[in-house]
Structure 1
Amino acid sequence: MFSTHYKLERKSIGLALGIMLVASIGGLVEIAPLFTIDDTVEAAPDMRTYTPLELAGRNIYIREGCYACHSQMIRTLQDDVERYGPYSLAVESKYDHPMQWGSKRTGPDLARIGGKYSDAWQVAHLINPRDVVPESVMPAYGWLARNRLRTDDLGKHLAAQRTVGVPYTDAQIANAEADALAQANPDGDGVSGLTERYGEATHVRAFDGNKPVVTEMDALVAYLQILGKLTDAAHKPAPATAEAPAK
């Protein structure tokens, strides 16, 4: 075997062709499954998009490097399912660009963190994690409650997401800033428009407890509270399979 390899090394063209052949096999293994993507991704008719405020929170989550310590993919292992809930489905990341599956778990998986804790708990945890989890090694993010959220460019963020397949409408893009402000202000005039565009189940409240100002804390908590709730697909029973005919 080695003698053949040594002979191949002496012939640059043959070596180059060999490298191309091996690389093409690896590429084929990665690319071929994409041709069956419609058959492998589950159907989720109830799937909804992130609201502008939730999308802004997701951007902050990525900006602060939260994905480095938290995964968002529950494996099919029994221990994972017992701890975190139903294992993750591909369709649940349908509108995540980029996806946040991750592989490192310094902290717990967050795929189904939405609604597990109150907004007040999330805010306290982000301001000083050790106030609610004494053994936590997570850094504090208290400044998020002081940083006013930038909203004037949210329409551009939604438009960018639409270019990669997220079905935001023209109306959602045009009203992105107003919808973000309305979601964190339940007493405002824009709530009806927000729920009309994103559904009656949209979370509308002052996520950080401070109504007059929409902060980065509002956005991040809004994002955390929707994780695992964009669709109920993972909680629905698997379709029954037809029984084999008796012999």
Structure 2
Amino acid sequence: MFNLHYRLERSAIGFVLAIIGVASIGGLIEIAPLFTIDETVEKAPDMRVYTPLEVAGRNIYMREGCYACHSQMIRTLRDEVERYGPYSLAVESKYDHPMLWGSKRTGPDLARVGGKYSNDWHVAHLTNPRDVVAESNMPAYRWLSSKQLKTGDLGEHLAALRAVGVPYTDEMVSNASSDAIGQANPDTDLAAGVTTRYGDKTDVSLFDGNQGAVTEMDALVAYLQILGHLTDAAHQSTQNEVE
């Protein structure tokens, strides 16, 4: 028994077969749960996809490394639920590629930050965090307000996400650029197309407070405001548990 590895090391074929056998066991343990994925992921008929502007904001969120200090997963622990809201469900990350659950909280969890603060608060916070949270050690991102958002390639971003399973339609892909502009300019003709394609509950607003050119601040605030609101499944689940 104790000399088995010595014998394996002397036999190249035996050693390779042993490695394959052990790796297969680990692989099976990891892969087997995927066969029950339809049973473990909750149903959410009201689930909607990210708009092009929100996709752009998510890309900026990743580019600036926000996920390194903020998680997006509320655990089932009582103190987390009381502080942040209903615990996170798997279905809420259904269209996240990659997922941004995170593993470290220098700042608070953001899974339910959408709608918690106004657009003006988010702009002030991103411009100079200390203006709204005195003890914050978060860096300022004031340049986002002056940097125009690149919208011309958003259709390609949506097409790439569709390739990995996000149900964007041809119409959504072809109108991605105009929809991004329209969502940040509510008093324009382009705004109507956003709600037509993504639903009446879509937040169409002057996210950075200024009409006209769409900035990276618009995109990032739009993304933050949708977190926790792609579906109401978590709130419905909590209500069912109480009943």
Write the deviation string for residues 174-208 of structure 1: whole angstroms up to 9, x where unpaired. 11111110110011111211111111111011101
Matched with 1:150 is 150
TM-score (norm 2): 0.96
The two structures have a TM-score, normalised by structure 1, of 0.94
- Matched to 2:130, the amino acid is R
Structure 1 residue 5: Cα displacement: 2.0
Q: Report how far residue 99 of structure 1 moved.
A: 0.7
For structure 2, the 5+ residue unaligned runs are: none
Amino acid at match of 2:175: N
Count matched residues.
241
2:82 alignment counterpart: 82
Query: 1-side partners of 2:15 and 2:172: how far apart?
Result: 54
User: Distance between the aligned counterparts of 2:189 and 2:14, measured in 1?
Assistant: 71
The whole-number CA distance in structure 1 between the counterparts of 2:80 and 2:70 is 14
User: Counterpart of 1:235?
Assistant: 235
Alignment map for 1:1-247 (pairs within 5 Å): 1-237=1-237
- 1:4-38 alpha-carbon deviations (Å, 9 max, x no partner): 22222222221211111111111111111111111
**Percent identical:** 73
Query: Can you list the C-alpha shifts for 1:98-151, whole angstroms capped at 9, x where unaligned?
Result: 111111111111110000111111111111111111111111111111100001
CA distance in 2, matches of 1:203, 1:239: 25
Amino acid at match of 1:64: E
Distance (Å, rounded) in 2 between the aligned partners of 1:10 and 1:130: 65
Distance 1:15 1:110, change over 3 A: same
Whichever residue aligns with residue 187 of structure 2, its letter is D
Q: State the distance in 2 between where 1:240 and 1:212 align.
A: 44
The residue matched to 2:166 in structure 1 has which SS? coil
**Retained in 1: the 8 A contact 2:73–2:87?**
yes
1:237 to partner: Cα distance: 3.6
CA contact (8 A) 2:147 2:215 kept: yes
Deviation at 1:240, TM superposition (A): 7.0
Q: Distance in 1 between matches of 2:92 and 2:71?
A: 14
Structure 1 unmatched runs, 5+: 242-247
- Quickly say closer, same or farther: Cα 1:43–1:127, change in 2 above 3 A: same
Which amino acid in 2 is paired with 1:29?
I
More helix by share: 2
Give distance in 1, aligned partners of 2:14 and 2:135. 59
Q: What is the CA deviation profile of residues 67-119 of structure 1, one whole-angstrom value per residue up to 9, with x for unaligned ones?
A: 11111111111121111111100000011111111111111111100001111
Residue identity opposite 1:50 in structure 2: Y
**Bigger Cα displacement from structure 2, 146-155 vs 232-241:** 232-241
Shift of 1:238: 6.2
The aligned amino acid for 1:136 is S
CA distance in 1: counterparts of 2:149 and 2:109, whole angstroms:
26
Partner of 1:245: none
